[in-house]
Amino acid sequence: MAQYDTASFAAGQNCGTRIASCIARLAAIDLMRDAHWWNRWRRGAMSSALIAHAEELENDADAEPAAPRAAL
């Protein structure tokens, strides 16, 4: 059985967090793409919330250092 590599797992978590952040930013762009004047404010508010969440995810990924490699 292979040993558990904590550094690899932590790197995978950070990668997943960054992908989720990118998807949230793409969703914000897509919300505003075809917004008309009557729904631009509502879509803008949701877009701002998505971008704030994406920044929060990125900050969390940057704050957590990768775990040290397990000794073989």
pLDDT per position as a tens digit, 17-58: 889 899 999 999 998 888 888 888 999 999 999 999 999 988
Say if residues 14 and 66 touch (Cβ distance below 8 Å): yes
Asked whether the predicted pLDDT for residue 2 surpasses 80, the reply is no
pLDDT for position 26 = 93
- What's the total number of domains in the chain? 1
Q: What is the mean pLDDT of residues 4-27?
A: 83
Q: Which residue has the tokens 């920044």?
A: 55
Q: Give me the domain span that covers residue 29.
A: 6-63
pLDDT for position 71 = 47
Tokens of 22: 């990118």
Q: Would you call 5 helix, strand, or coil by DSSP?
A: coil
pTM here is 0.70
Flag whether 20 is in a domain. Answer: yes
Flag whether 70 is in a domain. Answer: no
